[in-house]
Structure 1
Amino acid sequence: MSTSGPVFHRYVALGDSFTEGLGDPAPERPNGLRGWADRVAEQLATRTDDFGYANLAVRGKLLGQVLDDQLDAALAMSPDLVTIYAGGNDMMRPSVDIDALVARYDTAVAALTAAGATVAIWTAYDAGWDAVFRMFRGRTAIYNELVREVAERHGATLVDFWRFDGYDDDRMWDWDRLHMSTAGHQRMAVEVLDALGVPHELAAPDLGPAPVRGKVEQKKIESTWRREFLLPWIGRRLTGRSSGDHIAARRPELAPIG
């Protein structure tokens, strides 16, 4: 058991699909998912005999819903480590008040750090290479600058997703291009542990050269994606429905990770 670096005993993960683990299937686990947060918890558990982990994240939730539903529950667990990434779903709505959004985030991070927890937060990813999601790039840049200020103000650990290279490879993303693939989650777990200064045994995936696709194959992929993901996703945005409707947090209580 390594004694170098920080040792955490009670880890609570808050957020939306990013933290719930969508894109990284594991049928034997709650909600059928693993994700980067489980990988982080597995490494943290090797460093102490009394480790507990809760994951309250639910897909599709807006930042306000994440805070309303998860913040008090997290504080009640007296965590010494909290990860929280929210706001991505807000940023993809037709309109968003970014200043008000980050003001709520700031209040939550302040409450968590005041309670004595180490808090890790994220900048949002730069999807400028994607023909559809790059329309949100300007909003995302503004949001990220405000999030960096939140991290500085409260001494939170910043996982600067905006500056990561390698995620412009579509193999780092699930078929929907919105959620990370297993490889993406593995790399994210490495980045989180490194940002926290925690020694670990994980390695970022080595995917090798990207496959070369012909025009016909690529056109078929694009057509399938638009039909099976993009149009239903737009439909939910327009009707106010969420992919997280009727989904429960998969690890609502602190418990060993196994």
Structure 2
Amino acid sequence: MDEITARPAGLDGRRRSRAVLLVLLTLFCLAAAGIFWSWRHPVSHAQTELPVLGTVGEFTLTAEDGREVNRSFLQGRITVCQLVCSRCGSPGPLLLSRFAELDQNFNRSSRLQLLSVTIDPQVDQPPVLARLRESYEGSDHWVFLTGDPAEITRFAAGVFGTAPALRGDRLRQAAIDAPVLVLVDEEARIRQRYQGLDQEVVAAILEDVGTLLRNGQTSAKYLSWPGTSGRSSCSCQPTCPWLWPARVARNLPVWLGRPG
């Protein structure tokens, strides 16, 4: 009798084990299918691309080294722009410090550059801007611009969204009260404006630059994760949408430092 009664208990145990195994196998298959679907159907451009807020118009300004700079200088490069003033107090130094942080990342790629446009052109002549750039140890990717006051007013209105009527002291005050950084893509299109001077702004800019690099002419195959040879620890390709958002800001300097 003991053998007869013990049998069903053994059968029940095996059935439970098979049921658990079947559930685990089903979950594994669903997870694998989800990863495969995400790889084959990445997040749509409508969700990942930055909006186009406008286009930078024609302009002619003078760099700190005396060369002439116009709209063509923006084409083929991703650019971050700011308004500066050498004699203005806070938050000028902090704004330039944030640009210096970006410069440490940008100076590894010829496709990235920074533009600091003075809003005090009568004082900020090229030699003054050259000394200002030197004081922040700016790389060749960081260019300071000055020029005709009317031209700067037009540039500020078109790129930074300042009121066209703002000029002189009023323009300087507006730039001090509400500092703005502007991201421009390789086709001289305005893609984002950032207000504020905290570290989150720098992180947001780096993340958005990563988005432009990913969606632009530079394919992700030219960007490598740290410690790898073009592939991540994920079984997907480096373009796997699950990997990008969390890693862009942290890994951008390393990607840009690797040869194409």
Q: Which structure has more RCO (C-alpha within 8 Å, separation ≥ 6)? A: 1
Structure 1 and Structure 2 fold alike (TM over 0.5): no
Q: What TM-score, normalized to structure 1?
A: 0.32
Higher share in strand:
2
Work out which of the two has the higher radius of gyration on C-alpha atoms and give 1 or 2: 2
Q: What TM-score, normalized to structure 2?
A: 0.31
